[in-house]
Amino acid sequence: MKHKHGSPSLSRLIRLSMNASTLFTILVFAVIVTILLSIVIRPLAQLGAQLVAHSTMREMTSPAFPENHGIATLTDLSPQSPGFERWWKTVERQEVVNYRIPLLDGNEPLEYDEGREMPRALHTVDMIVELDGRELYRSAYLSSSGTAEDSLRERNWLYDYFNKPYFAPILNDDGQEIGMITARIYPPLLVEIVGVTAALMLLLGLLCFYVNYLLGKWLIGPLLLSLGQLRAVFQKLADGHVDELFDKGVQMDRSYSEIEDIAVETGRIISNTKMHMEQLQEKNEELESQKLVLTRQATIDGLTGLNNRRHFLELIAGRLEEPGLMLMLLDIDDFKRVNDTYGHTGGDVILEGFADVLRNDFNGNSVTGRFGGEEFAVFATGLSEPEMRLSAEKLRAAIEAAVFDLPDSRPIGVTSSIGIAYAYRSSLTFEELYQQADAALYNAKRAGKNRVVVFGDSPLSLPG
């Protein structure tokens, strides 16, 4: 569609004006922050780090320090020392130091007045203390791995300039270096600088807002009027008022060429909207039905109704550190002979009945699943070892007592070998637990089948 003669286009002018205003704001902010950080923060941070490091070092090298902390010499200080925890807390208190600063009355500070003092965080510190080749202290917010320099750099990418650490050697009475204190400080002035910068940026933002307001009133006002009318059309379309739009069409009081193009295309869209809405509704209903089917197929074993292996692993992924953890693997004894004798139809009946026994004996907080073929799994937590063994034996007996009615045949029963990986406190992965349970299952079959074996049981204690 061609633009009408004389129809103005403001998009280029608007973009240039807004971009210039935004660019100016960013440049001013960058200049202010760079100057303040470079001139003020760096020397204060380095001076503060030096003061904190020397304060810690003076305490450790004082003559009374060994006696006060229950050691013979300073190099004996270790986590096993009687006074180590007290020393640790003393160093830890330097990470965030707070003082109450009294307000001033003229040139003189006011007398102590709880209500007229203001708490100020003078500094926060990253600190590492090394003594006699051992690291005795590292600030909680630093990485626990790597050298002191590596951990400080990891926390602050401006390490080499603004927050360069200070290294204070610890010397013995003979002047030999026996340790090192590494400290880096974040000065309190940083907060004030950020506050001042924020205030300046707020004023600058208000100025830019006022300039943009004038530009909008002069240039964008007519455009907004046309967009408002067009938005009303789309709102009716979104609300489903298609019949009203068919009657009135898309009406514009005034517009620029860009808006006219959109209005024409909108009219063409509206002519087909009602039909598409009905088609979409039907499609949505069909997709929702398919979604339910696919979700069940992706998570549930089609024959037994238990969780499939993939969904089983998803359900237990976040529970491997719970106390009293049990992973049980079950295998139907001589299942191949059942299939050979009664066919796959009979085998399916056995698998379905076996799954029903699992569901009846384990529910609630446990997770049951079929891993494939005649292999099943049960995961549960919160069990003591006696409870675990009793539950497993009870399940084995229930399987042995169950009777399965095969089509066109007499009822039969089966037995199951059960292997268990159990840990009251565990940091093992699922693969490691599975290997333990699988090894226990192998031992149960080797010992004669129809029995429960827990990983770690002595071979001498196994029947058979």
Please list the pLDDT of the chain residue by residue as tens digits (464 residues): 444 544 555 556 666 676 677 667 767 766 776 676 667 667 777 787 888 888 888 888 888 898 888 898 898 899 999 889 999 988 888 776 555 555 555 666 555 454 444 455 555 788 899 998 899 998 877 888 888 777 777 766 555 566 678 889 998 888 899 999 988 876 555 555 555 666 676 677 677 767 766 766 666 666 666 766 677 777 766 676 666 665 555 655 555 565 666 666 666 666 666 667 667 777 777 777 777 767 667 788 888 989 999 999 999 998 999 999 999 999 999 999 988 888 888 899 999 999 999 988 887 789 999 998 899 999 999 999 999 999 999 999 999 999 998 877 778 899 999 999 999 888 889 999 999 999 999 999 999 999 999 998 875 455 54
Q: How confident is the model at residue 3, as a pLDDT?
A: 46
Tokens 């979604």 correspond to what residue? 291
Q: How confident is the model at residue 144, as a pLDDT?
A: 81
Q: How confident is the model at residue 140, as a pLDDT?
A: 77
Q: What angle do CA 284, 288, 289 make, to 5 degrees?
A: 120
Residues in CB range of 463: below 8 A, 6 or more apart: 447, 448, 451
**Among candidates 419, 392, 421, 227, which has minimal Cα distance to 325?**
421
Q: How confident is the model at residue 464, as a pLDDT?
A: 47
**Among candidates 440, 436, 431, which has minimal Cα distance to 459?**
440
Q: What b-and-e string marks burial along 286-296, b requiring 16 or more CB atoms within 10 Å of the CB? A: eeeeeeeeeee
Distances (CA, A) of 144 to 94, 112, 152: 19, 42, 11
Task: HSE, CB side, 13 Å, CA atoms: give it for residue 286.
Answer: 6
Q: How confident is the model at residue 2, as a pLDDT?
A: 44
**Among candidates 3, 21, 5, which has minimal Cα distance to 13?**
21
CB 18 within 8 A of CB 216: no
CB 395 within 8 A of CB 304: no
Task: HSE, CB side, 13 Å, CA atoms: give it for residue 16.
Answer: 5
Q: How confident is the model at residue 211, as a pLDDT?
A: 74
pTM comes to 0.42
**Among candidates 88, 122, 90, 118, which has minimal Cα distance to 102?**
118
Q: Which domains does the chain have, with CATH numbers?
A: 14-187 (no CATH), 196-276 (no CATH), 307-461 (3.30.70.270)
Q: How confident is the model at residue 434, as a pLDDT?
A: 95
For every residue of the chain, which 3-state class applies, written as one string? CCCCCCCCCCHHHHHHHHHHHHHHHHHHHHHHHHHHHHHHHHHHHHHHHHHHHHHHHHHHCCCCHHHHCCCCCHHHCCCCCCCHHHHHHHHHCCCEEEEEEECEECCEECCCCHHHEEEEEEEEEEEEEEECCEEEEECCCCCCCCCHHHHHHHHCCCCCCCCCCEEEEEECCCCCEEEEEEEEEECCHHHHHHHHHHHHHHHHHHHHHHHHHHHHHHHHHHHHHHHHHHHHHHHHHHCCCHHHHHHHCCCCCCCCHHHHHHHHHHHHHHHHHHHHHHHHHHHHHHHHHHHHHHHHHHHECCCCCCEEHHHHHHHHHHHCCCCCEEEEEEEECCHHHHHHHHHHHHHHHHHHHHHHHHHHHCCCCCEEEEEECCEEEEEECCCCHHHHHHHHHHHHHHHHHCCECCCCCCCECCCEEEEEEEECCCCCCHHHHHHHHHHHHHHHHHCCCCCEEECCCCHHHCCC
d(CA 208, CA 19): 11
d(CA 422, CA 387): 11
d(CA 347, CA 335): 8
Q: What angle do CA 338, 343, 347 make, to 5 degrees?
A: 55
Q: How confident is the model at residue 253, as a pLDDT?
A: 59
Residue 73 CA to its chain's centroid (Å): 45
**Among candidates 441, 451, 454, which has minimal Cα distance to 376?**
441
